[in-house]
Amino acid sequence: MRNTRHNHGFTIVEMLIALAITAILLTAIAVAFNASIINFNENQNIFKAINQARQALSRITTQVRTGMVDPNNISDQTRCKVLCADGSIVTYRYESGEQTLYLNTSGADHLLCDNVTAMTFKKDNGTPTGDVKSVQVSMTVVSGDVRQTVSAAAVVRKVLN
């Protein structure tokens, strides 16, 4: 009878090759996972900035539609002063140095939107009495490398007299 040796297992070379392949696959998975997390965070920041800008524009246009815009500062495109139906005065003010939009009610400033790189209030006083008949608002927000411009317009529907 012949004495035969049967190898049951892997050689060291086979183990090293398997280990190298596993390391390559795990590295690829880790890189893909990291890219996915970075992409998610960037999208989340963009969503927050755009959503905040849209909410601010919605608030501005709603108050312009139901109030009366002060015609005295028609050329100032960084401010919009609105006399509301309840008699209160609301002022929206863009500060370019701070890149913020403020809401001023009852003499107190409230931060309405940040990361605003540009903002204009274009008021049209085409009425015979000189009242403002419409306001176009344009706001540019930035989040990381992404810059997005959001615009809205409102026609004054209510004249308070």
78: how many CB neighbours lie within 10 A of its CB? 14
- Identity at 153, one-letter amino acid code: A
* Mean of pLDDT over the chain: 88
Tell me the two tokens of residue 32. 């893909």
**How far apart are alpha carbons 135 and 117 in whole angstroms?**
20
What domain range includes position 30? 12-155
Report whether pLDDT(127) > 80. Answer: no
Report whether pLDDT(6) > 70. Answer: no
Q: Is residue 110 part of a domain?
A: yes
**Angle at 9 (CA atoms; ends 5, 13), nearest 5 degrees:** 105
Q: What is the mean pLDDT of the segment spanning 60-87?
A: 88
Report whether pLDDT(158) > 90. Answer: no
Q: Is residue 104 part of a domain?
A: yes
- Is the four-CA dihedral 9, 14, 18, 23 of positive or negative sign? positive
Q: Is residue 3 part of a domain?
A: no
Q: What is the mean pLDDT of the segment spanning 34-51?
A: 91
**How far apart are alpha carbons 146 and 29 in whole angstroms?**
27
Q: Is residue 43 part of a domain?
A: yes
Whole-structure pTM value: 0.74
Tell me the two tokens of residue 135. 């306001």
pLDDT at 161: 46
3-state DSSP assignment of residue 155: strand
Q: Is residue 160 part of a domain?
A: no
Q: Is residue 4 part of a domain?
A: no
Structural domain count of the chain: 1
Confidence tier at 49 by pLDDT (50, 70, 90): confident
Q: Is residue 139 part of a domain?
A: yes
Q: Is residue 119 part of a domain?
A: yes
